[in-house]
Amino acid sequence: MCGIVGYIGHRDSQNILIEGLKKLEYRGYDSAGIAVYTDKGLQVKKAKGRLAVLEDQLTGAPLSGSIGIGHTRWATHGKPSDVNSHPHTNVQKKISVVHNGIIENYIQLKEELIAKGYVFESETDTEVIAHLVSDLYEGDIVAAVRKAVKRIHGAYGLGVLAENEPDKLVAVRMHSPLIIGVGENENFIASDIPAILEYTREVYILNDGEMAVLTKDGVTLTDLEGGPVSRDTYRVDWDMQTAEKGGFDHFMLKEIYEQPKAYRDTMNPRIDGGRVVLPEVGMTADYIRDIRRVHIVACGTAYHAGLVGKTVIERLTRIPVETDVASEYRYRDPIINKDTLVIVVSQSGETADTLAAMREAKRQGARVLAITNVVGSSVARDADDVIVTLAGPEIAVASTKAYTSQLIAFYLLGLYFAQTLGTVDAGTVSATIDAMEKLPEQVERVLDQADVIKRVSEQIKDVDNLFYIGRGLDYTVVQEGSLKLKEISYIHSEAYAAGELKHGTLALITEGVPVIALATQEALFEKTLSNIVEVKARGARVLGIANEGDAEMAKSVDDVLYIPRTLPLLTPALSVVPLQLLAYYVSLARGNDVDKPRNLAKSVTVE
Ligand code: F6R
């Protein structure tokens, strides 16, 4: 949510900033800007719209200089506009700031600064920081930033550049991700690794309350009091190709097709001799035996993975599990104590709602296990135990391979607990592992049926409403399918427990309304089929998704897609794939920007 890049070194910075911002555009894309220290002093260019608009403006009038900061925005305070775009500057245009996050006390600070005579140009909270730093500046930008951050409350990743001190860049982190790239005679700041990976693999991952001062020749880390912080760099072990489209038209499609690999990578190192091994989970057998309840907390797609996780853990261990949306969790006064295991799920590991819920759970004495895709993320660092999903970087705003890797993580965790508790026998554990090992190849067989989905997407692309139905685990999966469609196609859809339609929603089923029906749960197949027949009788046009061999489905629906048979518990890892493809192809058919849907951004670092 908002992307920051900064450069100080021996090369011209404009290109590095723009190329870096392109890699971060997934974090926000309603406007962009850069500030560069040029031979005419600090100069800023910023523009509403995609980064390409800014690039066009820079083509005729480049900003030349070897120190600069850049920003791509996801609006919080003030609509997308040229003036609300970052960087923001002080009145004299000599201090420039880029910011990711929200300054909660900005109104109070703004009033104070206005009373002192400062004139604001924008509606943003960020501009307050530029004027505040200016107000506190006495010839030392590091000292001024340090004083300023003591006055601001909220979340911030900051990059600050002062015309009077063009030999340094200042970066500060509080609840918004920021990394420092360490190069040779050049250093970088960025919200995320892909922005700088072309230049260096050595990074510092800043913690909350840490500041970095970058010069061309070095990086100094301190806390907010100026006390030294010493830390080794982290070496990034994946390369740029992983974060590029690699021949696919969109990141989302590439990431859908990467799922077999993501399954193998997440699963294989954790399976040994027919058992699950999770050395990263440091829980003793006694601790696991004492768990009385599990809370799974997450947002959006990760929450949907948590819904599957609930069924997996309950079926395998008989421990009661509740799954909560993170933004609600804290406010419902959940019953948490030392027997409660809280599992937080987050692809980015930086989602503000999830982090806040996790901190509340820890405050109340729970042990927290994180399932995340990002090593070194805030969630990973604050949790007691971490299972890293090895899906590789996920760039498309619509999450796909992260979701399915989270499912794999839940299967592994559920089996691991079950092995320890003896709640399922060794034969069942090894049979489940055998079935899991077949999933990657089975996903490939689902992907081979993309043509069926393309055909159905043509029928759906112009509708205003559609419905997804399913029972049991199928109901959890259709919730994810419906979210995926909404976020990238902008078509309204609802996911319903198939048995619930008759209690109200059936009134909305009329001639030609599309219904996507999932019926992969053997024990519920007949019942879901009855619900399909009910919507058909009211004129719905149905795409049915069922297990291979369930030929009854084809007789009852307009279009059918069969997924390979697996254990009922594992079907979500296959049945979600056609729903991901459906959302992709409908979005494409409607001419939308699949990877960057309107109003959204990846990594939601504001509450
Ligand atoms: C939807 C999507 C979001 C995220 C949610 C949580 O496709 O990606 O719903 O799942 O914002 O993000 P993470 O997993 O990064 O915490």
Using the predicted structure, report yes or no on whether residue 28 has a pLDDT greater than 90. Answer: no
Phi, psi of 290 (to 5 degrees): -90, -5
Q: How confident is the model at residue 376 (pLDDT cuts 50, 70, 90)?
A: confident
Could you give the angle at which helices 426-447 and 259-267 cross, rounded to 10 degrees?
Answer: 160
Q: Examine domains 3-243 and 450-589 and report if their fold is the same.
A: no
Within 13 Å, how many C-alpha atoms sit on residue 136's CB side? 18
Minimum mean pLDDT range among 359-368, 523-532, 586-595, 598-607: 598-607
pLDDT at 370: 98
Helices (H), ranges, 30-125: 51-60, 106-115
For ligand 1, the distance from its centroid to the CA atom of residue 535, given in whole angstroms, is 31
C-beta of residue 550 within 8 angstroms of C-beta of residue 519: yes
For the stretch 230-240, pLDDT in tens is 999 999 987 77
pLDDT at 317: 98
Using the predicted structure, report yes or no on whether residue 123 has a pLDDT greater than 90. Answer: yes
Residue found under tokens 């599309």:
514
For ligand 1, the distance from its centroid to the CA atom of residue 228, given in whole angstroms, is 35
pLDDT at 591: 97
For ligand 1, the distance from its centroid to the CA atom of residue 590, given in whole angstroms, is 23
Answer with the residue of higher pLDDT: 540 or 376. Answer: 540
Answer with the residue of higher pLDDT: 23 or 245. Answer: 23
- Report the residue among 347, 386, 594 best suited for mutation to probe ligand 1: largest number of ligand atoms under 8 A from its CB: 347
Measured in residues, the chain has a length of 607
Domain 450-589: give its CATH architecture: 3-Layer(aba) Sandwich (3.40)
For ligand 1, the distance from its centroid to the CA atom of residue 397, given in whole angstroms, is 8
Using the predicted structure, report yes or no on whether residue 465 has a pLDDT greater than 90. Answer: yes
For the stretch 285-308, pLDDT in tens is 999 999 999 999 999 999 999 999
pLDDT at 371: 98
Question: Which one is catalytic: 2, 46, 48, 596?
Answer: 2
**Residue 2 annotated to the active site:** yes
pLDDT at 339: 96
Q: What percent of the chain clears pLDDT 90, i.e. is strictly above it?
A: 91
pLDDT at 380: 93
Three-state SS letters, 6-44: EEECCCCHHHHHHHHHHHHHHHCCCEEEEEEEECCEEEE
For the stretch 310-353, pLDDT in tens is 999 999 999 999 999 999 999 999 999 999 999 999 999 999 99
Which residues touch 408 (CB under 8 Å, ≥6 apart)?
262, 263, 266, 267, 389, 436, 439, 573
pLDDT at 603: 76
For the stretch 97-116, pLDDT in tens is 999 998 989 999 999 999 99
Q: pTM, whole model, 2 decimals?
A: 0.84
Q: Averaged over 133-158, what is the pLDDT?
A: 96
Fold of 251-439: Rossmann fold (3.40.50)
pLDDT at 602: 80
- Report the residue among 74, 324, 399, 483 best suited for mutation to probe ligand 1: largest number of ligand atoms under 8 A from its CB: 399
Which residues touch 356 (CB under 8 Å, ≥6 apart)?
326, 330, 607
Q: Which residues pair with 101 in a beta bridge?
A: 156
Fold of 3-243: Glutamine Phosphoribosylpyrophosphate, subunit 1, domain 1 (3.60.20)
Ligand 1 atom nearest to CA at 354 = 16
Q: Averaged over 138-145, what is the pLDDT?
A: 98
**Rounded distance, CA 563 to CA 550, Å?**
10
Answer with the residue of higher pLDDT: 78 or 34. Answer: 34
Query: Which residue's C-alpha comes closest to atom 7 of ligand 1?
Result: 398
Q: How confident is the model at residue 584 (pLDDT cuts 50, 70, 90)?
A: very high
Which residues touch 497 (CB under 8 Å, ≥6 apart)?
469, 470, 471, 475
Average pLDDT of every residue of the chain: 95
Q: How confident is the model at residue 74 (pLDDT cuts 50, 70, 90)?
A: confident
Q: For ligand 1, say whether the CB of 400 is within 6 Å of any of its atoms.
A: no
DSSP-derived letter for residue 100 is: E
C-beta of residue 8 within 8 angstroms of C-beta of residue 186: yes
Give me the residue spans of the domains in the chain.
Answer: 3-243, 251-439, 450-589
Q: How confident is the model at residue 404 (pLDDT cuts 50, 70, 90)?
A: very high
Give CA separation, 220 vs 175, 193, 223, 284, in Å: 20, 19, 10, 39
**Residue 602 annotated to the active site:** yes
pLDDT at 445: 97
pLDDT at 566: 98
pLDDT at 604: 79
**Rounded distance, CA 191 to CA 5, Å?**
7
Q: For ligand 1, say whether the CB of 348 is within 6 Å of any of its atoms.
A: yes
For ligand 1, the distance from its centroid to the CA atom of residue 252, given in whole angstroms, is 14
Using the predicted structure, report yes or no on whether residue 431 has a pLDDT greater than 90. Answer: yes
Q: How many CB atoms lie within 10 A of CB 86?
A: 31
